[in-house]
Each structure stands twice: as C-alpha cells, then as structure tokens.
Amino acid sequence: MPNESIPVLVPDIGDFKNVDIIEVLVKPGDPVVPEQSLITLESEKAAMEVPAPRGGIVREVAVKVGDKVSQGSPILTLEVEAAAPVADAQSAPRPRPPDAAIPEPPRPDAPPPAALEGAPGPVHGHASPSVRRLARELGVDVAQVAGSGPKGRVVTADVQAHVKQAMAGGSRAAGLPPPAQVDFHRFGPVAEYPLPRIRQIAGANLHRNWVNIPHVTQFGEADITELEAFRRAEGERLKQQGGRLSLLAFFVKASVAALQRFPDFNSALHPDGTRLVQRRYYHIGVAVDTPGGLVVPVVRDAERKGLAELSRELADLAGQARARKLTPEQMQGGCFTLSSLGGIGGGHFTPIINAPEAAILGVSRAQLRPVYRDGELQPRRLLPLSLAFDHRIIDGAAAARFVVYLEEVLADVRRLLL
C-alpha cells in the first residue's frame, strides 16, 4: 500500500495561545500508534498532551522543548499508509510496533485530544500527564518526587531516579513519613561529593538487612590475657620465618568452633520461612574497611586452616580488598561474619547481619583492666564482643551461650583442640 506524509498540527486548545512545549516524546523514525502522546504542552494553569491522530512513522519533528505553540502550529510530519482510514481514537486498531522500546501502549483512560488535565484548577504534583502516568504505573506518588525541571516540575528522569533510589533501598519504609528534604545552603556553605559505588551497594544491602532482620545484640567480654601472651611468643617465632600471627585469626578459629557447637548460628532461614538450611561448611566473612567503603571477603573452609595460614590469608584478603582486587566470588558464600574494630578502638557496637547469615560477631579493642580474680585485683586484657543475631532463627538464651562459649575459648585457646 502506498504511503503518504501528513502534517500533525496543534489541535484546538481553547483560549490558550503561545503555550510552552515541555516534552517532545517522539523522534524521527519512531513508530507511533493512534492516540500515542507526541508532545506535552503546559500553560499557566494546566498541562496537556497532543496525541497522534493516526498510526505511522514519525518523519520530521518541527518543534523542541521550550518552543511556544498555538492552535495550528506544525508539530511533526507523520508517514501513514495512504489507504488507512482516519483513526478513531477509541476504536482504531493499535498494532504493537516492532521496536518494543519506543512507544508507550495506548491507554484506555486517554483524554480526548487536547483535553486539559487538571484544568482549570492547579496542576497536581507539577508534572506532565505522561510523567504522572509513568509515576502511576510504577506506583510512585508524584507528590513525593523532587522535581528537577523548570519551576520544579517533575520530569521522567526524576520519577526514574526516585524508583532507582527505592530499589537501592534508599527510600523510606512503608507507612513512614518521607525524610525531610533540607536545603543546606540556607544554613551555610556546603559541598557535594558522589558516593563511591562500593558504598552505594553496601548501603543498599545494609538497609535491606536492617529492615528485614529482627536484630538483637548480645554483648560479652573475653579475657584474652593468656591468648595475647601466647600470640606474642609464637608471633615472634613465626616472624623469624616471615610469618605472623594475628588476633583476627584467633577470632576466626574461635568463631568456627562456636558455629560447630551451635549449628543454628551456621544456618539460613529458607525463604518460605518454614525451614532452616544448615550449612556443613565454615566460610567466614571478614569486614574490611577500605577507602571506597566496607567490603566483606570470605575465608573458605576456615575449619581446615591453622592460625598461621589464616593470618596470612586474612592479610592477603584485606590487602586485595584495599587494592580493589577482590573478585565477586571472593565475597560470596559466607556463613558468619566477623567485624573487627580492634585496630581502631571504641567499645561495644551493634553490627548489622550480613544476610543470609544468622549472626555477626563484632570485636572491639581489648583493654588492660583490673579484674578481681583469685581473691585479688589483677591486670587482665579484656576483649569486648558484640554478637548480633537474627531472632527469627536464634533465641536470646542460645546467643548468650554462644557468647559465653566464645569467651571460654578465647580465654583458653587450648579448648580449640577439644
């Protein structure tokens, strides 16, 4: 069938003249279906869309965002089939175009051509109809979206960014009021920096875990006086051979022993909520502080490794993490995570569980303190422990037992041999 080109003009828009074009929704080469929105106009009072009178291919677009138009102004040229009847907006066939990425589907609630949305009242949410429709389809309340367009208008990119932020976990929890949007410039000078990618990803995971898991944190304190004496002595010996013995390696070993004794801590809640998946392997994640943000490499099969080997591997993993050399595989498969802030200081803290793990052990800086022992005050090195656990999997009593066991093992590392 032969094709012909027809001009598409601004239809009757009532008394409005010199109206701003705020969106051009098609470009040359785009296939369009009847009633598909071509441009959006915005007057002082309302926004409206101009739909395609017929289906076809857009050839030339005569307007751009910011142009002012009135009734009769040319918008674009449409190539249509010559014999095709003039489309009835409600009943014309609406073939799905071959390029699925382009046109939006015709909407059953489409206003008649040139109908003013919201007129004569104020513009709702200050967004064009197409943007409001997109927001509706995505379940976004357009009133909650910060607009970056002229006069604070919400544009498509704002809705997309809002959804992206929600997907990344940055949105508010259901039912809670939105976080306050503060214009910091009002109070003084500010600077803005992009958030490193690792921090963005870690932040989304932390938020998801914090919201989804009922956390409880059990605190404890291990007397590591003997452990430190042993580590210093053995560490010196290993140093002669180019090795080392880190405190962290002891924490990994003690954690494995506790997981073996209390297997629920090595479990994951099945997504259907009716079963526990108990791991029979012992891969321990270790939180590493890097300039780009927190990462958690995993030591595999920690139960099979000795303290010297673990010390070496932990140092390697931390080095790779800081050099951004870790592969995704090296950060997967963990059973339990250790978060050590001992090199920095500070007291007990409440770490966030790294799902789908059941618990995480926070270790803080050991301090020499006077302890009443054997009838007298003695200087002892006390290590703060903070065990955060998923209360759906673990009861408080079990967590207390786990921490007490850790305290016993760390107080006398010979127990690791039992």
The whole-angstrom separation of Cα 245 and Cα 312 is: 8
For residues 37-96, which are near ligand CAO according to CB under 6 A?
none
Q: Among 130, 246, 266, 386, which residue sits at the site for ligand CAO (rule: CB under 6 A)? A: 246
The neighbour count for residue 90, using CB atoms within 10 Å, is 11
CA separation for the pair 203, 185 (Å, rounded)? 25
Please state, in angstroms and rounded to a whole number, the distance separating the CA atoms of residues 50 and 38.
6
Please pick, from the candidates 110, 127, 259, 287, the single residue that binds ligand CAO as defined by CB under 6 A. Answer: 287
Choose the binding region for ligand CAO from 34-42, 59-67, 359-367, 398-406 (rule: CB under 6 A).
359-367
Q: 338: Cβ–Cβ under 8 A, 6 or more apart, which residues? A: 248, 251, 252, 255, 284, 285, 286, 287, 360, 361, 363
Task: Compute the chain's Rg from CA coordinates.
Answer: 32
Choosing from 48, 340, 353, 361, the residue that interacts with ligand CAO (CB under 6 A) is 340
Between 10 and 287, CB nearer to ligand CAO: 287
Nearer to ligand CAO, 164 or 325 (CB): 325
Nearest approach, Cβ of residue 314 and ligand CAO (Å): 6
Helix, strand, coil share (%) of the chain residues, nearest 5: 30, 25, 45
**Cβ-contact 336, 286 below 8 angstroms:** no
Q: Closest approach of Cβ 159 to ligand CAO, in Å?
A: 33
User: Which residue's entry shows tokens 């955060």?
Assistant: 388
Which segment (16-24, 45-53, 168-176, 246-254) binds ligand CAO by CB under 6 A?
246-254
Residues 112-131 that bind ligand CAO (CB under 6 A): none
Residue 288 binds ligand CAO, judged by CB under 6 A: yes
140 belongs to the binding site for ligand CAO (CB under 6 A) = no
Closer to ligand CAO at the Cβ: 26 or 403? 403
Task: Report residue 215 as tokens.
Answer: 């956390």
Q: In this chain, which of 75, 247, 310, 358 binds ligand CAO, going by CB under 6 A?
A: 247
**Closer residue to ligand CAO (CB): 289 or 303:** 289
Query: Residue 365 CB, nearest distance to ligand CAO (Å)?
Result: 4
Binding-site size for ligand CAO (CB under 6 A) equals: 20
Q: Does 342 bind ligand CAO (CB under 6 A)?
A: yes
Residue 305's Cβ-side half-sphere holds a number of Cα atoms within 13 Å equal to 24
Nearer to ligand CAO, 123 or 314 (CB): 314
**343 touching ligand CAO, by CB under 6 A:** yes
Rounded-to-integer distance, Cα 75 and Cα 402, Å: 72
Q: Is 185 a catalytic residue?
A: no
- Alpha-helical (H) ranges within 138-246 are 156-167, 197-212, 225-240
Give the one residue of 134, 310, 363, 403 binding ligand CAO; rule: CB under 6 A: 363
List 207, 215, 348, 391, catalytic entry: 391
Judge contact between 299 and 253, C-beta under 8 A: no
Q: Which helix (H) or strand (E) holds 87?
A: none
* Contact residue for ligand CAO among 22, 318, 385, 413 (CB under 6 A): 318
Cα separation, 321 vs 289, whole angstroms? 8
Using CB under 6 A as the binding rule, whether residue 248 contacts ligand CAO is answered as yes
Catalytic amino acids? 391
